[in-house]
């Protein structure tokens, strides 16, 4: 049977960038004999408009059945005043939670043609290609006890960093598997100097590492990690870290490479029967209501998210590389959506022109 894909374009620029991914998917069907069984459905505000919920049970069940889910973005000002329980974000959170997607992969990859666009010096970022693996379902954002309590005559805000062995083990294992497919170097970041959860994290990472003798494991305190990421990011290949540190480190790493419109992500869970992990792929950016409907959105983040799906869910690493190469090629030709041009930038291409150019480059490459 064909590999299966659930496409959830969502709100705002979500459907606009997803339309360009569809062109890429069609190209692989026609030219690479790679045909997907695609179903498309609603998530977020548009699902709320139609069904009164940001994610129906049917869509949730379909997400559990398919080989991979590809999502655009959710949310928008129209939904800001909705009750918390039906906010667009809840659709995305439900997907992550029920699919138990505990490993969030955030690549920071610098395309040569955009090296000038980084906030850092060109030689620091040119050729950069690292992945941060962030634990996504546990840690301080979820630990109990939590809340704001009265103590004496003042209020106290409480959150708890809590990690079980098995939670650390599974995300480290995902990171080692990833390192095996890449440069075989993994750096685990925590703060074992001041946090017990960090001490345990370091122990478990070391233990899991015994199953991966080919991967060179190192440990780093996360604050030093932040410094090293900005000072010399190319020293890293794969980084694994907890939910809180990963949130900060991956946002910092993102800006090494330029625009939000360029950043893909994957969220992976436990292996399914076919050995591939449960998986949701999505651009890092949101629904960008300020530019929605104007043909200004950069489709590259979503297209690169599909490249990650090719690599991690469909075992098509060569095709993923071809697609990334096509993106590099159009950037090298000088094509830029508005977000990739400076203040005085002129002659941006539209969302659909960018998509067409990438498909043309695929054909040429
Ligand atoms: P955002 O990522 O949507 O936009 C931030 C800025 O980046 C805007 O100026 C936008 O125009 C620009 N931008 C984002 N993606 C772009 C692209 N592909 N091409 C060109 N420019 C792009 O974040 P913001 O404005 O904070 O949130 C807008 C809405 O999106 C909110 O409703 C928020 O809740 C939602 N959101 C959804 C996410 C998701 O679906 N995973 C993630 C982040 C925000
Ligand atoms: Mg963040």
pLDDT per position as a tens digit, 139-158: 999 999 999 999 999 999 99
pLDDT band at 1 (very low <50, low <70, confident <90, very high): confident
User: Is 90 exceeded by the pLDDT of residue 15?
Assistant: yes
Whether 311 is covered by a domain: the verdict is yes
Considering the candidates 26, 129, 223, 315, report the single residue annotated as catalytic: 223
Q: SS3 of 88, please?
A: helix
Q: 73-103, pLDDT tens digit by residue?
A: 999 999 999 998 999 999 999 999 999 999 9
The answer on 142 and 83 residing in a single domain is: no
**Phi then psi dihedrals of residue 155, to 5 deg:** -95, 150
User: Is 90 exceeded by the pLDDT of residue 257?
Assistant: no
The verdict on whether 223 is a catalytic residue reads yes
Q: How confident is the model at residue 114, as a pLDDT? A: 86
> What sections of 32-69 are H helices per DSSP?
45-51, 57-65
Q: 185-223, pLDDT tens digit by residue?
A: 999 999 999 999 999 999 999 999 999 999 999 999 999
The answer on 145 and 242 residing in a single domain is: yes
Cβ atoms of 41 and 62 closer than 8 Å: yes
Whether 347 is covered by a domain: the verdict is yes
Q: What CATH number did the domain enclosing 90 receive?
A: 3.40.718.10
Cβ atoms of 99 and 269 closer than 8 Å: yes
Q: How confident is the model at residue 116, as a pLDDT? A: 78
**Phi then psi dihedrals of residue 232, to 5 deg:** -150, 75
Whether 117 is covered by a domain: the verdict is no
The answer on 336 and 244 residing in a single domain is: no
The answer on 224 and 169 residing in a single domain is: yes
Cβ atoms of 24 and 359 closer than 8 Å: yes
Q: Whose CA is nearest to atom 26 of ligand 1?
A: 286
Q: β-pairing, 264-271 with 37-40?
A: unpaired
The answer on 340 and 312 residing in a single domain is: yes
The answer on 239 and 173 residing in a single domain is: yes
Neighbouring CB atoms inside 10 A of 364's CB total 8
Enter the tokens of residue 222.
């996360």
The answer on 266 and 243 residing in a single domain is: no
Is 107 one of the annotated binding-site residues?
A: no
The answer on 217 and 285 residing in a single domain is: no
Q: How confident is the model at residue 174, as a pLDDT? A: 96
Distance separating alpha carbons of residues 103 and 177, to the nearest angstrom = 12
Strand partners, 106: 132
Q: Structural domain tally of the chain?
A: 2
Distance separating alpha carbons of residues 336 and 298, to the nearest angstrom = 8
The verdict on whether 116 is a catalytic residue reads no
Cβ atoms of 362 and 63 closer than 8 Å: no
Whether 298 is covered by a domain: the verdict is yes
Whether 124 is covered by a domain: the verdict is no
Rounded to two decimals, what is the model's pTM?
0.94
The verdict on whether 247 is a catalytic residue reads yes
Q: How confident is the model at residue 72, as a pLDDT? A: 98
Ligand nearest to the CA of residue 134, numbered in listed order: 2
The answer on 273 and 185 residing in a single domain is: no
Whether 112 is covered by a domain: the verdict is no
Domain C-terminal end among 205, 223, 255: 255
Distance separating alpha carbons of residues 216 and 222, to the nearest angstrom = 18
Q: What would the mean pLDDT of 326-345 be, rounded to a whole number? A: 90
Domain C-terminal end among 207, 239, 255: 255
Rounded to the nearest whole angstrom, what is the distance from the C-alpha of residue 103 to the centroid of ligand 2? 15
Q: Which domain holds residue 15?
A: 1-102+259-365
pLDDT band at 254 (very low <50, low <70, confident <90, very high): confident
Whether 120 is covered by a domain: the verdict is no
Q: SS3 of 156, please?
A: strand
Cβ atoms of 262 and 298 closer than 8 Å: yes
Distance separating alpha carbons of residues 65 and 46, to the nearest angstrom = 22
Strand partners, 130: 108
Mutate to test the pocket of ligand 1, among 80, 262, 287 (most ligand atoms within 8 A of CB): 287
Domain C-terminal end among 229, 255, 281: 255
The answer on 134 and 251 residing in a single domain is: yes
Q: 57-74, pLDDT tens digit by residue?
A: 999 999 999 999 999 999
The answer on 211 and 153 residing in a single domain is: yes
Residue that has been written with the tokens 């590099």 in this structure: 328
Distance separating alpha carbons of residues 306 and 210, to the nearest angstrom = 32
Neighbouring CB atoms inside 10 A of 350's CB total 16
Q: How confident is the model at residue 342, as a pLDDT? A: 75
Distance separating alpha carbons of residues 4 and 57, to the nearest angstrom = 19
Whether 109 is covered by a domain: the verdict is no
Ligand 1: residues within 6 Å at CB? 13, 17, 73-76, 89, 92, 260-261, 282, 285-291, 297-298, 301, 339
The answer on 243 and 266 residing in a single domain is: no
User: Is 90 exceeded by the pLDDT of residue 115?
Assistant: no
Distance separating alpha carbons of residues 298 and 306, to the nearest angstrom = 14
Q: SS3 of 41, please?
A: coil
Q: What would the mean pLDDT of 252-280 be, rounded to a whole number? A: 91
User: Could you tell me the CA-to-CA distances from 212 to 179, 222, 239, 272, 315 in Å, in that order?
Assistant: 9, 23, 15, 21, 20
């Amino acid at each position: 049977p064909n590999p299966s894909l659930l496409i959830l374009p969502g709100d705002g620029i979500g459907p606009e960038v997803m339309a360009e991914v569809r062109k890429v998917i069609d190209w692989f069907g026609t030219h690479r004999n790679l045909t997907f069984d695609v179903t498309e459905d609603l998530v977020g505000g548009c699902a709320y408009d139609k069904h009164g919920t940001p994610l129906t049970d049917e869509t949730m069940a379909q997400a559990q059945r398919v080989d991979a889910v590809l999502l655009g973005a959710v949310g928008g000002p129209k939904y800001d005043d909705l009750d918390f329980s039906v906010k667009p974000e809840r659709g995305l959170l439900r997907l992550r939670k029920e699919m138990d997607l505990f490993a969030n992969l955030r690549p920071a990859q610098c395309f040569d043609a955009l090296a000038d666009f980084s906030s850092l010096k060109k030689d620091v970022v040119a050729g950069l290609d690292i992945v941060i693996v962030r634990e996504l379902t546990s840690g301080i954002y979820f630990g109990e006890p939590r809340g704001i309590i009265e103590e004496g005559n003042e209020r106290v805000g409480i959150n708890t960093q809590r990690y079980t062995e098995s939670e650390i083990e599974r995300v480290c294992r995902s990171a080692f598997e990833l390192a095996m497919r890449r440069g075989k170097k993994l750096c685990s970041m925590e703060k074992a100097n001041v946090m017990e959860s960090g001490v345990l994290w370091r122990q478990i990472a070391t233990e899991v590492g015994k199953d991966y003798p080919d991967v060179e494991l190192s440990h780093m305190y996360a604050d030093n990690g932040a410094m090293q990421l900005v000072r010399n990011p190319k020293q890293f290949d794969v980084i694994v870290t907890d939910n809180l540190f990963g949130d900060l480190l991956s946002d910092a790493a993102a800006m090494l490479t330029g625009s939000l419109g360029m950043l893909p992500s994957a969220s992976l869970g436990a292996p399914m029967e076919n050995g591939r992990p449960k998986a949701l792929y999505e651009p890092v950016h949101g629904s960008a209501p300020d530019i929605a409907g104007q043909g200004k959105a950069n489709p590259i983040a979503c297209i690169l998210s599909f490249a990650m799906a090719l690599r991690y869910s469909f075992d098509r690493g060569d095709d993923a590389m071809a697609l990334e190469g096509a993106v590099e090629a159009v950037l090298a030709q000088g094509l830029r959506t508005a977000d990739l041009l400076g203040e005085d930038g002129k002659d941006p291409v539209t969302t659909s022109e960018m998509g067409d150019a990438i498909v043309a480059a695929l054909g040429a490459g």
